[in-house]
Amino acid sequence: MPLALYDTWSRTVRPFTPIHAGQVGMYCCGPTVYDHAHIGNLRTYVFEDILRRALMRNGYDVQHVVNITDVGHLTSDADEGEDKMEKSSRRTGQSAWAIARRYTEAFVADWRALRLLEPTVWCRATEHIAEQIAFIGELERAGYVYRTSDGLYFDTSKQDDYGYLARLDHAGLQPGKRVAIGSKKNVTDFALWKFSPVGVTRQMEWDSPWGRGFPGWHIECSAMSAKHLGIWFDIHCGGEDHIAVHHSNEIAQTQAAHGTRLANFWMHGHFLTLDADTKMSKSSGDFIRLQTLQTRKIDPVAYRYLCLTAHYRTKLHFSWASLDAAQTALNRLRHLYSGWPYGGLVDPGFAARFDAEVNEDLNLPRAVAVLWELVKSDLPPATLRATVDSFDTLLGLGLRDWRPIVSDIPENIRVLLSEREQARAERDWAKADSIRETLNAQGWRVEDSKEGQRLIGITPGPTEFGDE
């Protein structure tokens, strides 16, 4: 079944065809590094990682670009308030540059803990100031820019279809509803370049043809995606909260400068919710970090597994009980997988069913259901391992890399292990193999290496996700 994806622009699931045969350009809005990411933020990156893996599974070479917003993101959609980096600096007493470095490193650590594939390009806003200034110059020459006392703004009234991505109701937008209007011409206009306040020395500011200052938030993504992927690429991703403002403004800028809507597909992950169906957010202070899970002895990969149990276009309700169940399911899968032998071939029937679910707009809940149906089947263990291994190239659970911690080995198992080691030393391979089978029947697997025997416990336990 060919890959089909939901496009927010068209509001339809439609077949995916790359702009350039065999290649996909994918841009994902990354973090604003003024604080730690919370697990709601990270759910979006898990969705994008699955999307990239699905594209690769379909044979595409993916150019994956992720930005780091380390300047220009103000504390309100009205382009008012402090830059989030400067505000965090004032709050902590550290320099804005140190803040950016600290939280970028923390974000990358979270990224790797969740087994997300490394992007082809990490691009930082502060390293692309020249490109942003050049892009604003193009908009100015096209007649879309006007100047106020505090900066340069994009005139959205010059585009009849501004906000189409979000299906904005222009007539219904009033000052105070979405943004304050201030000295702007229109309520939806947005900042391209902000001037440094008179008498105030900012830590992050640059000279420009219009005066010393810093770029607005939206211009960075238009400029950086154009540099690394071109002015018309395949897929642009982000969270659903980006649709109405940030992504609508990216599209407006690129239409004005280059005549494209930037990306052929616009894809968005939905929120992670807490009690009372409220989204997790930093502004409320009510957010959970990945490190919080680890202090509760929860493997970060268990959170990744939890994300796979809900479709990316539906809200996922977080609870500690659901996370514990995901950890149990992951542990069972790991133990089963580690107990199966190598040497099998992928089962074509289960593989076809798995791929069909993945290719139907990344329906991971149904793909995971196929996985567990496979696990419970009576296929040969070597076939189970090979097929699950194939599925895991998309799921990203790292089953092949996982090793259990073995402790408190029963005395009778130690005796058998010692006897097998002696049999191997005496080159009595038949006896060694017989003991291996005995150990396996009792829930233990032996791996042989240059360092000697390695014992792995494979006794599975029950799971909410794996067993009915």
pLDDT in tens, 422-450: 898 888 999 989 998 888 877 777 878 76
Q: Give the pLDDT score at 280.
A: 67
pLDDT digits 0-9 by tens, 270-308? 999 986 566 766 655 567 999 999 898 899 999 999 999
Residue entry with tokens 């994918």? 26
Residue 432 makes CB contacts below 8 A (sequence gap 6+) with: 420, 423, 424
Amino acid 179: pLDDT? 45
Percent helix / strand / coil, the chain, rounded to 5: 45, 20, 40
d(CA 277, CA 85): 29
Rounded (5°) CA angle 216-220-226? 145
Token pair 């542990």 in the structure block, residue: 331
Query: Does residue 468 carry a pLDDT above 60?
Result: no
pLDDT(263) > 90: yes
**What pTM was estimated for this model as a whole?**
0.86
Tell me how far apart the alpha carbons of residues 403 and 126 are, in angstroms, rounded to a whole number: 41
DSSP letter for each residue of 292-345: HHHHTT--HHHHHHHHHTS-TTS-EE--HHHHHHHHHHHHHHHHHHHHSPS---
Cα distances from 97 to residues 126, 208, 215, in angstroms, run 10, 20, 16
Nearest 5°: phi and psi at 68? -115, 115
**What three-state secondary structure class fits 83?**
strand
pLDDT interval class at 463 (50, 70, 90) = very low
CA count, 13 A, side-chain hemisphere, 424 = 17
- The torsion angle over the Cα atoms of residues 83, 89, 91 and 93, rounded to 10 degrees, is -160
23-60 tens-digit pLDDT: 999 999 999 999 999 999 999 999 999 999 999 999 99
275-401 fold: Four Helix Bundle (Hemerythrin (Met), subunit A) (1.20.120)
Confidence of residue 352 (pLDDT cuts 50, 70, 90): very high
Nearest to 86 by CA among 126, 135, 129: 126
What's the pLDDT at 446?
81
Q: What percent of the chain has pLDDT over 90?
A: 74
- The phi and psi torsions of 243 (rounded to 5 degrees) equal -60, -50
The H helix count followed by the E strand count for the chain is 14, 15
> Average pLDDT of 203-228?
96
Answer whether 325's CB lies under 8 Å from 366's CB.
no
The mean pLDDT value of the chain amounts to 90
Q: Give the CATH H-level superfamily of domain 4-269.
A: HUPs (3.40.50.620)
What angle is formed at CA 135 by the lines to CA 133 and CA 139, rounded to 5 degrees? 115
Average pLDDT over residues 182-199: 89
Distance in angstroms (rounded) separating the CA atoms of residues 50 and 55? 9
The Cα 179–Cα 189 span in angstroms is 10
